[in-house]
Amino acid sequence: MSRSAAIDAAEKYFDSGAFLADLARRVAIPTESQNPAREPELRAYLETEMAESLARIGATSRVFPNPKGSGGPFLIAELTEDPKRPTVLLYGHGDVIRGQESEWRAGLGPWTVRQEGDRIYGRGTADNKGQHTINLAAIETVLRTRGKLGFNLKVLIETGEETGSPGLKEFCGQNKALLAADVLISSDGPRLQPRRATIYLGTRGALNFILSVDPGKGAHHSGNWGGLLANPGIILAHAIASITDARGAIRIPEWRPTSLTPAVRAALADLEIDAGQEGPSIDADWGEPGLTPPERVFGWCSFEVLAYVTGNPERPVNAIPARALATCQLRYVVGIEPQDIIPALRRHLDRSGFTLVKVEPAREAVFHATRLDPESPWVKWTAASIERTTGTKPAILPNLGGSLPNEVFADVLGLPTVWIPHSYAACSQHAPNEHLLAPIVRDALRIMAGVYWDLGEK
């Protein structure tokens, strides 16, 4: 049997409706990790759906409790054919964001897969059940076509990624030997363009924090006290404005990376960001001046204000508010010291005269920045395999603009990390009407069948 036969079989898997059947079965399990009542569903996804699917290819699975005591369980599956052959680690997450049932368009729902034209709707279709369904199906296709994989496979499925992957770092640290591999090849996130395959080699880090001003004087009538009492909303607005200029370019020196190297710029040089017809258009005059759009999102840091409140926006009254609060975020790349992000902000605010502004982390989970060298042999090998299948060079991103727990695989397990995403930027993940695009799914099945076939070659 041949490589082309395996790719043909992957296409037939999609065309026959088998992909939709597998995906529908998985989406129907409401694995909302943000909902404590869904713990039985999280476990069932691993113990039944994943373990039974992996058993079909001869892999043995074990489900482990979260080492933190709280948080979703983990599954590790293993299929060893020859210890002398390469071992590949496949990661996926079985949990999803909340269903938001009442907000979906009429005729759609989070726990039912429905295809309309090119769109395949359902919660988790894009993030991440659809993506690991593609990879597992491609592995099974190669195994059935060749009679063996030709490499060794390990699979790690977690159920807490949507809550910051609690316990994942500790779990992988405790199970290094069980998860030992030569490379991580996995899928999550969007392609750079819907019609062009993408490889990314790491992720930007993400740190959320809260800025607040509370003088401790309470709220007071704006007629009697206006001009006499400092307004927390105004103070906080000016403090936030000091962090960037009017176009969002960062002013804090420690938040400005030095890692946008010639090699990274070369990797980004031929890339174009395209979210599809329904995606937003890029604001050309926003962000760091002198950088291209790909450099701004994949090679630089961005500061965002996620939420801002002072007083009562729904029922404003004529009073100087007692306090103001903003939830903010820094997306950062390799070269920024994560432990110094908040201290650097504190120093900047103090230098700028905003000593009254309090800074504190918004949550325990912090995603750290990672980046595999674009010149890595694994990157070149993967790109060559994809080009062999599609006839087109894939887009290669030094890192994704978003964040994943990639530091666990890169730093704790010490693996080269190669990600091949199967979604697109306008997929509505984390929102109502989440969907995959059928043409991308079919293309991705072909690509992954080719990658896994090539892994098993001499």
Question: So what's the pLDDT on residue 435?
Answer: 98
Question: So what's the pLDDT on residue 364?
Answer: 62
CA angle 118, 424, 137 (to 5 degrees): 70
Question: So what's the pLDDT on residue 275?
Answer: 66
d(CA 273, CA 299): 14
d(CA 404, CA 358): 28
Chain length of the chain: 458
Question: So what's the pLDDT on residue 317?
Answer: 96
- Mean pLDDT by runs of 10 across the 458 residues of the chain is 95 98 98 96 98 97 94 96 96 98 97 98 98 98 97 98 93 98 97 94 94 96 96 98 97 96 89 76 93 94 97 95 97 95 98 97 81 93 98 94 91 98 94 98 98 93
CB atoms within 10 A of CB 272: 11
Question: So what's the pLDDT on residue 139?
Answer: 98
Segment holding 265, helix H or strand E: helix 262-268
Q: Both tokens of residue 289? A: 């001046």
Question: So what's the pLDDT on residue 367?
Answer: 80
Q: Both tokens of residue 376? A: 């890595």
d(CA 9, CA 25): 21
- CA distances to 74, 90, 174, 175, 253 from 170, in Å: 12, 18, 6, 9, 33
